[in-house]
Amino acid sequence: MSSSSLSGRTFEGAAREDGTVGVRDNVLVLPSVICSHLVAERIAARVDDAVATPHDHGCAQLGADNEQTQRTLLSIAQNPNVAGTVVVGLGCEEVQSAEVATALESRDVPVRELSIQDVGGTDECVEQGVEAATELVQSRHTTRTAADISDLTIGIVSSDLDASTIESADPLVGRVADDVIAAGGRVVVAGNERLVANPEDAREAATEDARDSMGDLLDRHEGHPARATRVGQFTRNRSYEEVTRGWGSAPISEVLSYGERSTLSEGLTAVDAPSRFAEATTALAAADANVVVHVTGDGIPSGHPLVPVVKVTGDPGTAVALPDDIDLLARQADSEQLLERLLDVANGEMCLAEEHSLTEFAITRVGPSM
């Protein structure tokens, strides 16, 4: 599919003041710490168009981990799919809810903040949180606008290296990645094991501007080429070309630390995130992906609270076993059909993970927590 054939392909998106376009229009109920995540979930459950991101972080974390958690929380609250944020804390955590809210306010994010200890306990925090989230939902100043491919930021994560993934699913997704970039859009990819296992090829794949950042990523993982992931165990036996087929053929123009936002207007960004689905998708959402393609040989039946996740498999057995969870079988589809599916989802149609309300949210760790 050529970029010219993508001209005129539009979807109705939620235009944000910063120029980005969301494919969803939700208020985020953001726990700043593990201790407030149940309260955040209860708040979101009572407010239409509110979503929560429960996680196990924000307390007793050290140095780089604490910084990474806060960076990620700030970035996901600025994802184009988010119309506003209620930050919920406990009161004694390391990642303080008030500090997160102040930082978001300085970045022009509509935000409210409350902590369990300050408002008088769990029940009162839930009630006040419901009021705050309802207020943000009702005060959304969203303009629905006709957006095109250049307004999409596609996140891509391939969570295995099964033969069906390498032979059919990854190449299909890679062709769509190339088409989106050629049409002026952005593609953000996760899977640092693939880079670390092929350092020289990874450096060559980066543009001159991105090469130093790629070097920093490789230095961070020196001595840990596989990490503790299924993908990491197999990357050392495969070429760079094999393990990155799902990313397309564009050069890597930007390399981000985990939790950073992308600054590219178009092109390919690599995020320092593992291929594990939940951690990877959170990093992609933090990098401003508004929709994610998940390549899975196993058919992992899960989505993400902030971004719709389109599931693609190359394994016919997986597609037969999980017909209600797999959006597309690569062996029976072409890039036009995958792009159509993405545009339908961007236009408001639920992907299968959304239909089942299946979500996972996780932030990767740098080191141990206390």
Q: DSSP readout, 257-273?
A: -TTPPP--SSEEEEES-
Q: What CATH architecture is 26-141?
A: 3-Layer(aba) Sandwich (3.40)
User: What span, in angstroms and rounded, lies between the C-alpha atoms of 182 and 16?
Assistant: 24
Residue for token pair 């979101």: 44
Q: Is the pLDDT of residue 6 over 80?
A: no
Residue for token pair 């990877």: 280
Instruction: With CA atoms as reference, report the closest residue to 97 among 46, 29, 27.
Output: 29
- Rounded average pLDDT over 15-38: 94
Q: Is the pLDDT of residue 237 over 80?
A: no
Task: Please state, as a whole number, how many other Cβ atoms lie within 10 Å of the Cβ of residue 294.
Answer: 28
- The mean-pLDDT minimum among 171-185, 230-244, 255-269, 317-331 falls in 230-244
Residue for token pair 């979930």: 41
Distance of CA 82 to the CA centre of its chain: 13
Burial (0-12, 13-18, 19+ Cβ within 10 Å), 366: middle
Residue for token pair 């992906």: 289
User: Tokens in use for 133?
Assistant: 């989230």
pLDDT score at 84: 97
For residue 155, the one-letter residue type is: G
The SS3 call for residue 155 is strand
- Determine which helix (DSSP H) or strand (DSSP E) holds 41, and give its type and residue range: helix 37-45
User: What span, in angstroms and rounded, lies between the C-alpha atoms of 193 and 228?
Assistant: 10
pTM over 0.85? The answer is: yes
For the chain, give the percent of residues with pLDDT over 70.
93
Strands lying side by side in the sheet with 111-115:
50-52, 26-31, 82-89, 111-115
User: What span, in angstroms and rounded, lies between the C-alpha atoms of 91 and 98?
Assistant: 9
Listed in sequence order, the residues at least 6 apart from 181 whose beta carbon sits closer than 8 Å to its beta carbon are 187, 248, 250, 266, 267, 268
Listed in sequence order, the residues at least 6 apart from 163 whose beta carbon sits closer than 8 Å to its beta carbon are none
pLDDT score at 62: 74
- Band the pLDDT of 229: cuts 50, 70, 90: low
Instruction: With CA atoms as reference, report the closest residue to 336 among 175, 171, 184, 186.
Output: 175
Contact 358, 308 (CB under 8 A): no
- The mean-pLDDT minimum among 135-139, 219-223, 248-252, 364-368 falls in 364-368
pLDDT in tens, 283-296: 999 999 999 999 99
State the DSSP code for 36: G
